[in-house]
Structure 1
Amino acid sequence: MLTPMYPAKVLLLGEYTILNGSKALALPYHELSGKWSTENNETEVRENSRKSLLNLAEKMNLPLLKKDLGEGLWFDSSIPQGFGLGSSGAVIAAVFDRYGKTQDDLEANKIALARLEDFFHGSSSGFDPLVSHIQKPLLIHNVHEVEVLEERPNLKGFFLVNTGKPRQTGPLVSIYQEKMKDPQFKQGCAEILAKDVNFAIDAVLKNDTTNLFHHIWHISKFQWEFFPEMIPTSVRGLWAQGLETGDFALKLCGAGGGGFLLGYSNKLDLHEMRQILNTHELRDLT
């Protein structure tokens, strides 16, 4: 029997603005994934996985998981931790499928997944593990209304940029919440950024590349001006270059502060983008 693979997730659009009522678009990224393993390779990765899962089993009262861990089970994952690609979401989806009670109701499963992922993040929406669990794109209309897309959108022109720097989500969300106390920032997020996010999602779903670049460029510019703490120093020059030339645009992919960024170009192919961004790893999303 084949062991199921649990993919990483990419939050294509909707980072932060989903907290203020915008839509979001999240999808599985199968190039990175995790699976259950009993291979006894005595690596640090294996031991860290087992230690984390044992803590989860004790905190969430999962005796069967604890028993299996005692017999050598662990979660073998290629998803880097702290890079915004849902490493904990994949683990939680795997735990839920093996030890939880899956229901036919999407919202009920999301709530159950969120409770499990709270162990890692303190507070979870449940969207990351839900993407890994169902392994289909999610169009999130709001935190309580989620639509499963049966077909993957055309992602030609999208790519991931590895900043090489891990980050923690919690402190960055705290920065955002503090910024929301500023009326000008709050108004900008609600009236400018959230609208561009919604328009960009609509453009992705309609395969409208011209309007898509227009809105992603505006998202990039807004984040450049209002989210400077979330943009690592190592990519600020490249980010500015995209804004100035209009050949490509970079935006946060999740919380920001490190991890992966999302890039988009409707002018240059991935080979050309790799020549421009030659100091960073690029990953194709198509």
Structure 2
Amino acid sequence: MKGPLFYAKILLFGEYGIIKDSKGLAIPYNSYQGALKKSENPSKEAINSTKNLAKFYKYLSQLNTDLVVFNLDEFKADIEDGMYFDSSIPMGYGVGSSGALVASIYDKYAEDKITVLENLTRDKLLKLKQIFSLMESFFHGQSSGLDPLNSYLSIPILINSKDNLEATGIPSQKEGKGAVFLLDSEIIGETEPMINIFMNKMKNEGFRKMLSEDFAKHTDACIDDFLHGNVKSLLGNVKSLSKVVLDNFKPMIPQKFHNVWQKGIESNDYYLKLCGSGGGGYILGFTEDFEKTKNILKNFKLELVYRF
């Protein structure tokens, strides 16, 4: 048995903001993927994955919802038969490792599922997001459902607000010098503690004001520029966003990257932002000259995401 592949995702813009109803833009990232499998000679990782699927089965069997019905008997039988999730998506890196797993389980076991091939109306997208939010909450305590949605559909998704999503197109990549890239912090991040820090910060009126004004304004401008291919304007807006994140989301940025982050803003060679909830994993970068940035950040591992 080998199930279909589900890819990683990158939330280009909107981290934390989407929890509080501002815009976001998520794109599939095909360098990493996962699939459900069975093996005659499972590895230690595969056996652990099977155990985790058993816990997930238990969680799904206790879900009280009218949104979705799963074929739980089949799911249980497959787990007993040694099914596991074989994934190259790094865990705790902000690129949707649990999202791909959730998407694969929905795809295989949901009855009367919404498929990628049908006309994806706003209502269908919203229903899928709600289902995935319920499912992924098993992993994070609280989930927007966006990671599994992106992985399941494998198309860019524009989040206008909590209740308003649309599939969107992004400009095709150009052979330019500029790039969006990932910077590997080499630290595993945990989503739940980061979300807890954010929720505590939300009790502060000044933080809420910053989020609804500065953060949302720059995020919306970045999304608009990216979708329309306005590179010059995009980099200016990413710089503003990078400053706001450094000033207000320090606990989510690993300590050793505070200076690297600041240097990018001061030199204008590159700009960094959070990729997912932060605390480790990947940091997202934007640059006008990727070769130059690779040289400046030669002590770090960089991965190319998108060229412009």
TM over 0.5: yes
Tell me, in whole angstroms, the C-alpha distance in 2 between the residues paired with 1:207 and 1:232: 31
Letter in 2 for 1:49: S
Partner of 2:78: 68
Tell me, in whole angstroms, the C-alpha distance in 1 between the residues paired with 2:171 and 2:34: 21
The structure-2 alpha-carbon separation of the partners of 1:90 and 1:112, relative to structure 1 and needing over 3 Å to count, comes to same
Query: 106-115 vs 36-45, which deviates more?
Result: 36-45
Tell me, in whole angstroms, the C-alpha distance in 1 between the residues paired with 2:41 and 2:30: 24
Partner of 2:188: 166
| Shift >6 Å, 4+ stretches | none
Q: How many Å apart are 1:237 and its aligned residue?
A: 2.1
Residues paired across the two proteins, number = 284
Partner of 2:128: 109
| 1:142 aligned to which of 154, 161, 183 | 161
- Residue 82 of structure 2 aligns to a residue whose secondary structure is coil
| 2:89 aligned to which of 63, 75, 79 | 79
Tell me, in whole angstroms, the C-alpha distance in 2 between the residues paired with 1:178 and 1:72: 41
Tell me, in whole angstroms, the C-alpha distance in 1 between the residues paired with 2:40 and 2:95: 26
Tell me, in whole angstroms, the C-alpha distance in 2 between the residues paired with 1:129 and 1:21: 18
The structure-2 alpha-carbon separation of the partners of 1:41 and 1:12, relative to structure 1 and needing over 3 Å to count, comes to farther
| 1:228 aligned to which of 250, 273, 281 | 250
**Runs of 5+ unmatched residues, structure 2:** 62-71, 119-123
Tell me, in whole angstroms, the C-alpha distance in 1 between the residues paired with 2:2 and 2:143: 30
Letter in 2 for 1:280: F
Partner of 2:303: 283
The TM-score, its normalising length taken from structure 2, stands at 0.88
Tell me, in whole angstroms, the C-alpha distance in 1 between the residues paired with 2:276 and 2:252: 10
- Per-residue CA shift, 1:154-180, capped at 9, x if unaligned? 485100111011111111111112112
Tell me, in whole angstroms, the C-alpha distance in 2 between the residues paired with 1:214 and 1:274: 20
Letter in 1 for 2:297: L
Contact 1:154 1:204 in 2 (8 A): no
Identical residues among aligned pairs (%): 35
**Runs of 5+ unmatched residues, structure 1:** none
Partner of 2:263: 241
- Per-residue CA shift, 1:214-264, capped at 9, x if unaligned? 111111111111111111122222111101101110010111111101000
Tell me, in whole angstroms, the C-alpha distance in 2 between the residues paired with 1:87 and 1:193: 26
Q: How many Å apart are 1:59 and its aligned residue?
A: 2.3
